[in-house]
Amino acid sequence: MKKDVIKLALKDTKIYLILLVLLSMSISYIKVQIALYVMYAIDGILFNNYSDIPIYINKIFNHNYKYDLLIIAIIIISFNIVQKLLNYFRNRTTTKFKLKINVNLKQELYKHMLNLEYESYNAYDKEEIIQRINEDADIYSKFFNNQFNIILDVIFLSIFIIQNGTQLNYKIIIYIFATIIIMILFSTWYFKKLNISIENLIMKRKQLLKATIRNINNYRFIRMFNKQKEENNNYKILNDNYCNQEVKFIKLVLFYDIILEHLTYLKSPIIYMIGGISIINRRNDNGVINSNSYSSRKNI
């Protein structure tokens, strides 16, 4: 069952996978194009170096910098509108993809449970079975919801950056790829920690649930032998353990989100600083702006 869990999770999701790949590729491509067009505006038009602008774009300019900047601005705004629309459709597709994975796993796990032999079925606590089905389905669906698009963005953005590498400042290339590597390693560490944290959370929740069911089923016995205080203290310990584990889980998720947010926003000032120095030195360095699209990315 464990060996086939990914296959089962992705059952009948081919259309969502294809759409997500195409949408992520398009979004990454547009981000790089926005960067290049901003570069054309600064290094080509403002510095009057039209030879650096591709011929097919140069044809729409008349070498009047105000008119040419207006055209570039319209193109960049159009790219941004298209990018926002693609992000909207990708978010909708991702949500449907996640829900489909969740449904697939729950159906297969319930089916697997019903096919267990009687002895195997009775060997497990029923509350644990139900809880594990829900938790396992949530783990995999959340992974594809939160991480899958990040992985696609990293892959396609890297491809387009390499494709335009001859036009980029090498310092910015190094910084961008260093940031990507850090994000990949940090995400890998996070996912491993997340699995451990979820396992501990399941165990604590299971203990709390068993104590709750036991007290409900045996309330007469507890009152008969005057064990209310003892059971109350035991329940409080279990409840505190579960709360502490849930707090650790939330802290881990927040830590990951905060670090990624800071890595994302830290890119902008560093890349603009590198590019700004190049502009001040009047170097023909479009890397400045390539950063614009990359630094505008979120969730990587």
Segment holding 189, helix H or strand E: helix 170-217
Helix axes 148-163, 65-114, angle to 10 degrees: 140
pTM for the full predicted model? 0.64
Average predicted confidence (pLDDT) for the chain: 75
- The fold of 5-295 is ABC transporter transmembrane region fold (1.20.1560)
How far, in Å, CA of 157 to CA of 299, rounded?
13
Residues contacting residue 27 through CB under 8 Å, at least 6 positions apart: 83, 86, 87, 90, 153, 156
Residues 75, 80, 83, CA angle at the centre, nearest 5°?
Answer: 125
Output the pLDDT for position 294.
40
Burial track 33-56 (b if 16+ CB lie within 10 A, e otherwise): bbbbbbbbbbbbbeeeeeeebeee
pLDDT tens, residue by residue, 222-273: 777 788 888 888 888 988 998 998 898 888 878 877 887 677 666 656 666 6
| Separation of alpha carbons 18 and 40, rounded Å | 33
pLDDT-derived band at 82, boundaries 50, 70, 90: very high
> Which amino acid appears at position 133 of this protein?
I
pLDDT at 79: 92
Cα 27-31-35 angle, rounded to 5 deg: 165
- 23-73 pLDDT, tens digit per residue, is 999 998 888 888 788 778 877 787 777 877 878 888 888 888 788 889 989
- Neighbouring residues of 182: CB distance < 8 A, sequence distance ≥ 6: 263
Domain extent listing, the chain: 5-295
For residue 141, pLDDT beyond 80: no
Helix 287-295 and helix 148-163: axis angle, to 10°? 170
